[in-house]
């Protein structure tokens, strides 16, 4: 028979998993879509894999902006759902969707004008730059739609509905995967479009997701709706929460350039191996981590909105334990099966040798990655995106860049030092966010922001131990 403490942990785990599993399914299909892209391009050549991988570096920039705005809206959506302030929640959702669409327009122009040159700046060979530039121009053309889809998905999830985004994105990703195979390889009567076909399939999926999720919000089948924007306070809070997350994405995006340049010093095969090793890791472990992050953001944010910061703190630590247990176990599976798993992406002997090493490095880092992602999600729903920003950026600078260059290049230890840099990066970031979550400054920040937008429940009083007196 379980004790009271164990029953409470299990109850929280069940709730988090109930909210997280639809996100996990969605992420499995999303990463499977990206995995299909790498697998299909791997049938062309290592240069094609490197082209897609390098183009994805730039593609992460609009992705980070969309995720940043999504962090802001899931925080406000979950808090205002917990407090019952649905009018504020719906306005925050509307403002975030509009901001997301507008923020995607510059990327459309960038992809069309600077696509090939941007890939060339990374030191890629001419053929890699040509293919990568074409791919980048196609997917950047749908950046506004990608932003809208991300923001709309987080908006619905913050209100506790994680199934609707799963249904929409499941269909979108299935169509994307089918399109990649048919257009990329030329199945049946369809001619082989190669890397252009892979890009077109991704672009179609982005547009489909955006339109379907906007329609879902407008329908009576989700707990949220759009509302006419009129509160500048909500706009300021959306940007205040989103800006550090966007800055985090931009800075890590910038640091990916020198890191990939370091990889290219060791050869195109090493760069392709990194893309493959990372893709294997993301396919196996990332869906769980991202699902837990969303589930944690919902339960922590709603607890804060309901005036129970002590419960919010407990939920965050319980979620971290669940992530450590499950994702850590998958990391062990990945470590053992690394060499076999990477063979699904290439048959080039040199690339295979390094890809197995990268997959194992990510396997060792998997427990730390899970803790970082979950606690960062808890802090985000507590209106604190600055702590994850500092932890991740400093971890990447000291770990991935510092160790890779100083030990790998200058000291001459080569690619094994790059493997170690991945582990150092996530270990550093995890320690930093864990300390920030423990200190609890995010609780007071959330209370102040809810007071400012008049979302605090009437009669809410919090005792010194962090639990509501209600």
H, E, C per residue of the chain: CCCHHHHHHHHHHHHHHHHHHHHHHHHHHHHHHHHHHHHHHHCCCHHHHHHHHHHHHHHHHHHHHHHHHHHHHHHHHHHHHHHCCHHHHHHHHHHHHHHHHHHHHHHHHHHHHHHHHHHHCCCCCHHHHHHHHHHHHHHHCCHHHHHHHHHHHHHHHHCCCCHHHHHHHHHHHHHHHHHHHHHHHCCCCCCCCCHHHHHHHHHHHHHHHHHHHHHHHHCCCCCCCCCCCCCHHHHHHHHHHHHHHHHHHHHHHHHHHHHHHHHHHCCHHHHHHHHHHHHHHHHHCHHHHHHHHHHHHHHHHHHHHCCCHHHHHHHHHHHHHHHHHHHHHHHHHHHHHHHHHHHHCCCCHHHHHHHHHHHHHHHHHHHHHHHHHHHHHHHHHCCCCHHHHHHHHHHHHHHHHHHHHHHHHHCCCCHHHHHHHHHHHHHHHHHHHHHHHHHCHHHHHHHHHHHHCCCCCCCCCECCCCCECC
d(CA 319, CA 370): 10
Instruction: Report yes or no on 466 lying in a domain.
Output: no
Structural domain boundaries enclosing 92: 4-452
The pTM (predicted TM-score) of the whole model is: 0.84
Instruction: Report yes or no on 230 lying in a domain.
Output: yes
Instruction: Report yes or no on 196 lying in a domain.
Output: yes
Instruction: Report yes or no on 369 lying in a domain.
Output: yes
Instruction: Report yes or no on 344 lying in a domain.
Output: yes
Q: Mean pLDDT, to the nearest integer, of 453-465?
A: 59
Q: pLDDT tens digit string along 420-439? A: 999 999 999 999 999 999 99
Q: pLDDT tens digit string along 266-300? A: 888 888 899 889 988 888 888 899 899 999 999 99
Instruction: Report yes or no on 215 lying in a domain.
Output: yes
Query: Across all residues in the chain, what is the average pLDDT?
Result: 89
Q: For residue 322, how far is the Cα from the chain centroid?
A: 19
Q: What is the pLDDT of residue 470?
A: 34
Instruction: Report yes or no on 469 lying in a domain.
Output: no
pLDDT band at 185 (very low <50, low <70, confident <90, very high): confident
Q: What is the pLDDT of residue 3?
A: 62
Is the predicted pLDDT of residue 1 greater than 70, yes or no? no
Is the predicted pLDDT of residue 5 greater than 80, yes or no? no
Q: Give the closest residue to 367 by CA, choosing from 331, 421, 318.
A: 331
Cβ atoms of residues 155 and 96 within 8 Å: yes
State how many domains the chain has.
1
d(CA 41, CA 136): 14
- 167 compared with 283, residue with greater pLDDT: 167
Instruction: Report yes or no on 140 lying in a domain.
Output: yes
Q: pLDDT tens digit string along 201-253? A: 999 999 999 999 999 999 999 999 999 988 899 999 999 999 999 999 889 87
Cβ atoms of residues 224 and 440 within 8 Å: no
Is the predicted pLDDT of residue 119 greater than 90, yes or no? no
pLDDT band at 93 (very low <50, low <70, confident <90, very high): very high
Q: What is the pLDDT of residue 4?
A: 66
Q: What angle do CA 309, 288, 254 make, to 5 degrees?
A: 85
d(CA 373, CA 430): 8
Q: Mean pLDDT, to the nearest integer, of 147-159?
A: 95
Name the β-bridge partners of 462: 468
């Amino acid at each position: 028979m379980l004790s009271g403490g164990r029953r409470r942990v299990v109850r929280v785990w069940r709730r988090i998993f109930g909210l997280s599993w639809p996100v996990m399914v969605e992420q499995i299909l999303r990463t499977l879509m990206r995995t299909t892209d790498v697998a299909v391009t791997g049938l062309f050549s290592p240069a094609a894999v490197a082209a897609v991988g390098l183009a994805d570096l730039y593609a992460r920039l609009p992705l980070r902006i969309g995720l940043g705005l999504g962090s802001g809206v899931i925080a406000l959506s979950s808090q205002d759902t917990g407090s019952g302030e649905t009018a504020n929640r719906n306005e925050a959702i509307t403002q975030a969707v509009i901001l997301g669409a507008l923020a995607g327009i510059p990327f459309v122009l960038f992809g069309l004008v600077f696509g090939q040159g941007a890939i060339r700046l990374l030191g890629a060979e001419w053929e890699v730059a040509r293919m990568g530039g074409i791919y980048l121009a196609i997917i950047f053309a749908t950046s506004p739609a990608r932003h809208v889809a991300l923001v709309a998905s987080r908006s619905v999830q913050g209100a506790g509905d994680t199934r609707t985004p799963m249904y929409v994105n499941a269909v979108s990703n299935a169509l994307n995967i089918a399109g990649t195979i048919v257009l990329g390889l030329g199945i049946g009567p369809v001619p082989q479009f190669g890397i252009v076909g892979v890009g077109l399939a991704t672009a179609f999926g982005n547009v489909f997701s955006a339109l379907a999720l906007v329609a879902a919000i407008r329908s009576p089948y989700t707990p949220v709706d759009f509302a006419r924007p009129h509160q500048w306070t909500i706009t300021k809070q959306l940007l205040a929460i989103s800006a550090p997350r966007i800055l985090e994405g931009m800075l890590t995006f910038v640091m990916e350039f020198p890191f990939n340049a370091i990889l290219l010093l060791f050869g195109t095969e090493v760069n392709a191996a990194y893309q493959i090793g990372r893709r294997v890791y993301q396919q196996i472990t990332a869906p769980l981590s991202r699902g837990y992050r969303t589930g944690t953001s919902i339960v922590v944010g709603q607890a804060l909105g309901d005036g129970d910061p002590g419960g919010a703190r407990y939920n965050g630590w319980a979620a971290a334990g669940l992530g450590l247990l499950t994702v850590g176990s998958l990391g062990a599976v990945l470590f053992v099966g690394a060499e076999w798993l990477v063979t699904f992406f290439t048959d080039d002997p040199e690339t295979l040798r390094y890809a197995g090493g990268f997959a194992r490095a990510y396997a060792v880092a998997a427990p730390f990655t899970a803790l970082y992602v979950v606690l960062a999600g808890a802090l985000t729903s507590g209106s604190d995106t600055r702590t994850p920003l500092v932890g991740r950026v400093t971890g990447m600078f000291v770990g991935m860049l510092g160790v890779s260059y100083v030990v790998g290049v200058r000291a001459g230890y080569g690619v094994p030092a790059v493997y170690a840099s991945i582990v150092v990066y996530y270990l550093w970031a995890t320690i930093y966010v864990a300390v920030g979550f423990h200190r609890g400054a995010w609780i007071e920040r959330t209370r102040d922001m809810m007071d400012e937008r008049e979302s605090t429940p009437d009669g809410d009083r919090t005792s010194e131990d962090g639990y509501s007196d209600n």
